[in-house]
Amino acid sequence: MPRRLSIVALVIAALLCVIASYALRYLLMEGDQWVGRCVEDPTNLACQVRATLGWMIHLRIIAWAALGCALLSFVLPGVWGWRLAVPGLLLALPALALYTASLAVFAVVLSLLRLVRKPALALR
């Protein structure tokens, strides 16, 4: 896949990831209708997803995973670093939207720096 096409696909995936993250935040996590439903029936699947996501936010699991991917991608050479920067960015964007911006901002910066790094020339 040409480099320009892969960057366009990454931008589209990042936009979809941001849209889905904010929809999840405002419709499920902060939605008023879910508070009453989850008090009445906590075994509901949406309530269990909401509770699990709340624990993941509280423990900063998404942000730590994004930061780990971003740090590894920054030190790995070649295409493997680029391939690991993509999940680092796509994990950091939801972490930014879901209340863990303090860690996720570093993951976004490291991932984007790795993604825009000029590829090394192949030795002949």
Is 53 part of a structural domain of the chain?
yes
How much is the pTM? Answer: 0.85
Torsion, CA 72, CA 77, CA 79, CA 84, rounded to 10:
0
Is 105 part of a structural domain of the chain?
yes
What domain range is 65 assigned to? 3-116
Is 123 part of a structural domain of the chain?
no
Q: How many domains does the chain have?
A: 1
Is 21 part of a structural domain of the chain?
yes
pLDDT at 79: 86
pLDDT digits (tens, 9 = 90+) for 10-35: 999 999 999 999 999 999 888 888 88
Residue 62 has pLDDT above 90, yes or no: yes
pLDDT at 2: 73
Confidence tier at 1 by pLDDT (50, 70, 90): low
80 near 106, Cβ under 8 Å?
no
Q: What are phi and psi of 120, to 5 degrees?
A: -70, 145
Is 121 part of a structural domain of the chain?
no
Is 124 part of a structural domain of the chain?
no
Is 46 part of a structural domain of the chain?
yes
Q: How far apart are alpha carbons 24 and 98 in whole angstroms?
A: 9
pLDDT digits (tens, 9 = 90+) for 37-50: 888 888 989 899 99
Q: Report the candidate in 61, 65, 85 with the shortest Cα–Cα distance to residue 75.
A: 85
pLDDT at 38: 87
Is 67 part of a structural domain of the chain?
yes
Give the 3-state secondary structure of residue 58.
Answer: helix
